[in-house]
Amino acid sequence: MDNLKKLKIGVVAGGISSERDISLKSGGAVYESLIKNGFSAKLIDIKSQEQLVSLATYKGLDLVFIMIHGKGGEDGQIQSILKIAKIKYTGSNSTSSRRAFDKVTSKEIFKKNGLEVPTHWCVWVDEEEQFEDCDRRRIVVKPSKEGSSYGVSILNRPGETWFDEDEDAALDPDLKEALLKADSYDGEIIVEDFIEGKELTVAIVGENTYPAIEIIPPNEFYDFSAKYDGIGTKYIPANLSPKETKKLSELCLKAFKSLGCSGWGRVDLIKSKDNGNYYILEVNTVPGMTETSLVPKAAKLAGLSFDDLLVEIIKASID
């Protein structure tokens, strides 16, 4: 522990993505904990792309605790810069971060590794005919490169088709709106089957998985409000048998490592109500660390305080 406290740590937060405000909250929580516990740390608020990619931003640091969510922090950018600067950092490398950040790429990798994912396809805003053969009753529309549930919509089919028969077979207006909403963010637009079931998340630090948490949102899905306002959202330990707990742990580690991820992260998945199978949704390489965040909640179930959790993340990043 004494050796860790000799490290000059930069907690890098903020950034220029849609998740900037959440990132600052996460970074602030990490910084305050490190200072309180005698670490040599400073909080660095990234306010521009130029600042992010400048080696001068990280001068004199031994370790960067990456707390930038979304673009800049989870897409491999800062990791590439820190590799050039030969500075250690928390979490996955640039290649695995890019894979995890792109939901199209990550889903294909999961499938190749024998993991189940919701049936999905990429679509475009102005090609309405792509929905002519869509027979799904419920679908999820989302951008492929965004976090915190930004740009996500869940739709229920209004009738036999996704077209409005009263408007000369025009695309259903709710679907059109969802496509435009997703298109306003980075990446491709993904449409995928809605899997009804229990929403679970598993935190990973080093080679260890923490107890799974079931998320019960007050709304139809775990949207931005449910994540960060926390009003009405329930977080409970997943009710799993020892055998199922072991299976889930192995499954999540496989998903995490299939992308080449390391250090720490979080795997989000659904346990299907219909068949009991686990469907991998995504891997988060820079999870939130606010008072309502899931990784600290999972660590608490494992008997670790927030302060202890940070030490474990630092250890996993410098080993």
Which residue from 277, 116, 272, 268 is spatially nearest to 197, judged by alpha carbons? 272
Q: Is 13 helix (H, G, I), strand (E, B) or coil?
A: strand
Which residue from 163, 108, 155, 96 is spatially nearest to 131, judged by alpha carbons? 163
Which residue from 278, 285, 226 is spatially nearest to 248, judged by alpha carbons? 278
Q: The tokens of 138 are what?
A: 């419920």
Q: Tell how many helices (H) and how many strands (E) occur in the chain.
A: 11, 16
Neighbours of 36 (CB within 10 A): 10
Q: How far apart are CA 30 and CA 80, in angstroms?
A: 22
Mark whether 288 is an active-site residue. yes
Per the residue annotation, which of 186, 288, 293, 317 is the catalytic one? 288
Per the residue annotation, which of 58, 228, 278, 279 is the catalytic one? 228
Q: The tokens of 188 are what?
A: 């491709």
Mark whether 229 is an active-site residue. no
**Rg over CA atoms, the chain:** 20
Q: The tokens of 17 are what?
A: 């993505």
Mark whether 219 is an active-site residue. no
Q: Look at the block and give the residue holding tokens 């009003």.
A: 231
Q: How far apart are CA 15 and CA 20, in angstroms?
A: 6
Per the residue annotation, which of 222, 282, 293, 317 is the catalytic one? 282
Mark whether 99 is an active-site residue. no
Mark whether 148 is an active-site residue. yes
Counting beta carbons within 10 angstroms of the beta carbon of residue 221, is it exposed (0 to 12), middle (13 to 18) or buried (19 or more)?
middle
Which residue from 234, 228, 269 is spatially nearest to 19, judged by alpha carbons? 228
Per the residue annotation, which of 268, 278, 279, 293 is the catalytic one? 268
Mark whether 228 is an active-site residue. yes
Per the residue annotation, which of 89, 266, 278, 293 is the catalytic one? 266
Per the residue annotation, which of 18, 148, 153, 258 is the catalytic one? 148
Q: The tokens of 182 are what?
A: 């997703």
Mark whether 266 is an active-site residue. yes
Mark whether 193 is an active-site residue. no
**Catalytic residue ranges:** 19, 148, 228, 266, 268, 282, 284, 288
